[in-house]
Structure 1
Amino acid sequence: MDDCIIIGAGPAGLTSAIYLARYHLSIRLFDGGSSRAAMIPCTRNHAGFPEGIAGTDLLARMREQAERYGARREDVRVTALAPSGDGFVVTTDHGRHAARTVLLATGVVNHRPRGLAPDVHDAALARGLLRYCPVCDGYEVTDRRVAVIGTGDHGMREALFLRGFTRDVTLIAPDAEHLLDDACAAALDDAGIARIDGPCGGYAIEGDTFALDTARGRMAFDSVYPALGSRIRSRLAIEAGARATQDGCLEVDDHQRTSVPGLFAAGDVVKGLDQISHAMGEAGVAATTIRNLLAERRPLRR
């Protein structure tokens, strides 16, 4: 039986693997190959990389570091998680494994605009024409022409956030007319943010811009931010009995413990800032708490 199985190999999962391996614990890291960090063409928001670093390069460095200290990473997809005795049984598409503790670091999946072809999406993302995180890269659109695809309170808040980087912000409804109450409309008007109805479509890279069709015709922008929400990948923990918020974020205490004893969670699957640095901090807390929990059950001695 492993001391800990980590599900998810993004920044949170890999950080916890580094900590736990350096605590001389027996761990497995299950990597489904879908870390959202791998989509980042270049982050300049991560401390220690003033010239920026690609998400794939950062993950590769973290994998190498974890494996250097003995972490076992397996390219498998986890299909089920269940408490069993004093631990857990984790089922993958390659078999079943037992662990004393489990750390879930499965993250989230961004909702993409409907009708946006995958190849166009990936090409636009790589060039910074399509972006998903204004906290991460709002600086890069300073004084540029920016659109936000969204509506309601969520779309308004993202547009207002980006207004801190550029005065040229347009909020475009994804489907038809905007769904904005009077307070949202007043806030947008006060900030000088244009509002355009949808539906959106016809997405294409045109020169150095990202273009799309709207109710006012075809428009092109330096960068477009979809503000369409995300799917929290918390199903495994919820099915194991863990409490979650209405939108699916796992509820944890200040030591990253879920409501199921021995089950921990860190990173974007937990309600928070959705930042690499934040995920790594949560992972360090979770890993140390796991180590101390195991030490309470049996002495950890060399």
Structure 2
Amino acid sequence: MIAPLDCLIIGAGPAGLTAAIYLARFHLKIAIVDAGHSRAAMIPCTRNHAGYPGGISGKELLQRMRDQAAEFGGIVTHGLVEKLEKDGDLFIAHIGEERWSARIILLATGVVNNRPPIAPEIHDAALARGLLRYCPICDGYEVTDRRVAVIGTQAHGSNEALFLRMFTADVTLIAPDGDHALVEAEREKLEEAGVKMLDGPCEPLRINGDEILVPTPQGLIGYNAVYPALGSVIRSELAMMLGAEGTEDGCLIVDNHQRTTVAGLYAAGDVAKGLDQISHAMGEGGVAATTIRNDIAETCLLLRRVK
């Protein structure tokens, strides 16, 4: 086991890396562990992240943030934290055969989108070409006046279809598994907005030229873009091991300073209840890091020795 850290950051997405930059510059002893599954890395080009006219790929943004953290000693270690436990005043993180100890843990583990039926290699190709998209807040502008399908139903699917309707008049909501599970009020809103509704199931999606094809019981239909509205899996299981409280869907409940309900455990980014946006995650990372520094200062005097 390595010597105890002031803070172990789990996850090197926008939230975790922002926190790492802050904490390293506070002269705290930190480490960052990342399993390599950041959703941000899947973004071909984000055009609504301030400061990057023309856009920037998720991978390039993350690499720039890694490089910036490394300037101050915040080096990312590849690894998967399989278990967290408490040992007195310390947290113990199990990473393969290693055991790392830290006074503070910051979880920035994010979420995993539930995918539609599609082969992995086709999924990645469609994502890179903008035929498959997961965030209408981020890139709805790019499908302005295009033919768009939303795969989903119930409130989640209905709300996403209505959101996309402000970008284009050609929106179809397709049920993923069978008949739509929409209440009457949802159907009325969709009909009033001019959103078409098709029952599923959706057979595996595929690409044909500049279209993504959705096989349905009504036939094979081509779209310029498809948005899955199938929910996501919150990577909050490490916090749950420690008894942290979460929402029904698994997001961690935090206070205004990113503290969870477990003392010494903080969360930032998509794993916490909030808005799934890069800029928001970065803001939470900054808030969490500043809170961590201040909370540590309350328990011990932080003085930088000047020679």
Instruction: Name the TM-score class by shorter chain.
Output: over 0.9
Identify the match of residue 79 of structure 1 among 78, 82, 85: 82
Q: Distance in 2 between matches of 1:94 and 1:233?
A: 22
TM-score, structure 1 length as denominator? 0.99
1:87 positional shift: 2.2
Q: Deviations over 1:38-92 (max 9, x none)?
A: 0000000100011100000000000000011011321010001112211211111
Identify the match of residue 233 of structure 1 among 215, 228, 235: 235
Assess if the C-alpha contact under 8 Å between 1:198 and 1:215 holds in 2.
Answer: yes
What letter matches 1:14 in structure 2?
L
Assess if the C-alpha contact under 8 Å between 2:38 and 2:110 holds in 1.
Answer: yes
Residue 198 of structure 1: aligned partner: 200
Q: Runs of 5+ in structure 2 lacking a partner?
A: none
Residue 262 of structure 2: aligned partner: 260
Aligned: 1:25 with 2:28: yes
1:201 counterpart SS class: coil
Aligned: 1:167 with 2:169: yes
Residue 15 of structure 1: aligned partner: 18
Assess if the C-alpha contact under 8 Å between 1:76 and 1:94 holds in 2.
Answer: no
Identify the match of residue 104 of structure 2 among 77, 82, 101: 101
Evaluate the alpha carbon distance shift between residue 202 and residue 71 of structure 1 in structure 2; reply closer, same or farther with a 3 A threshold. Answer: closer
What letter matches 2:17 in structure 1?
L
1:164 counterpart SS class: coil
Q: Distance in 2 between matches of 1:134 and 1:25?
A: 38
1:299 positional shift: 1.1
Q: Distance in 2 between matches of 1:188 and 1:57?
A: 38
Residue 64 of structure 1: aligned partner: 67
What letter matches 1:141 in structure 2?
V
1:213 counterpart SS class: strand
What letter matches 1:135 in structure 2?
I
The aligned runs of 1:66-145 (5 Å cut-off) are 66-114=69-117, 116-145=118-147
2:205 counterpart SS class: strand
Assess if the C-alpha contact under 8 Å between 1:8 and 1:105 holds in 2.
Answer: yes
Q: Deviations over 1:244-272 (max 9, x none)?
A: 01110000000000000010000000111
Q: Distance in 2 between matches of 1:31 and 1:45?
A: 25
Assess if the C-alpha contact under 8 Å between 2:119 and 2:204 holds in 1.
Answer: no
2:220 counterpart SS class: strand
Q: Runs of 5+ in structure 1 lacking a partner?
A: none
Assess if the C-alpha contact under 8 Å between 2:66 and 2:75 holds in 1.
Answer: no
Residue 242 of structure 1: aligned partner: 244
What letter matches 2:45 in structure 1?
C
Identify the match of residue 146 of structure 1 among 139, 145, 148: 148
Identify the match of residue 286 of structure 1 among 285, 288, 296: 288
Assess if the C-alpha contact under 8 Å between 2:254 and 2:260 holds in 1.
Answer: yes
1:139 positional shift: 0.5
Aligned: 1:49 with 2:52: yes
Number of residue pairs aligned between Structure 1 and Structure 2: 301
Residue 40 of structure 2: aligned partner: 37
Q: Deviations over 1:170-225 (max 9, x none)?
A: 00010111011100100100100000011101411111010011121000000000
Identify the match of residue 3 of structure 1 among 3, 6, 31: 6
Assess if the C-alpha contact under 8 Å between 1:112 and 1:226 holds in 2.
Answer: yes
1:283 counterpart SS class: helix
Identity of aligned residues (%): 63
Q: Distance in 1 between matches of 2:90 and 2:18?
A: 22
Residue 180 of structure 1: aligned partner: 182
Q: Distance in 2 between matches of 1:120 and 1:183?
A: 36
TM-score, structure 2 length as denominator? 0.97
What letter matches 2:72 in structure 1?
Y
Q: Distance in 2 between matches of 1:73 and 1:206?
A: 39
Assess if the C-alpha contact under 8 Å between 1:87 and 1:101 holds in 2.
Answer: yes
What letter matches 1:66 in structure 2?
A
Assess if the C-alpha contact under 8 Å between 1:38 and 1:59 holds in 2.
Answer: yes
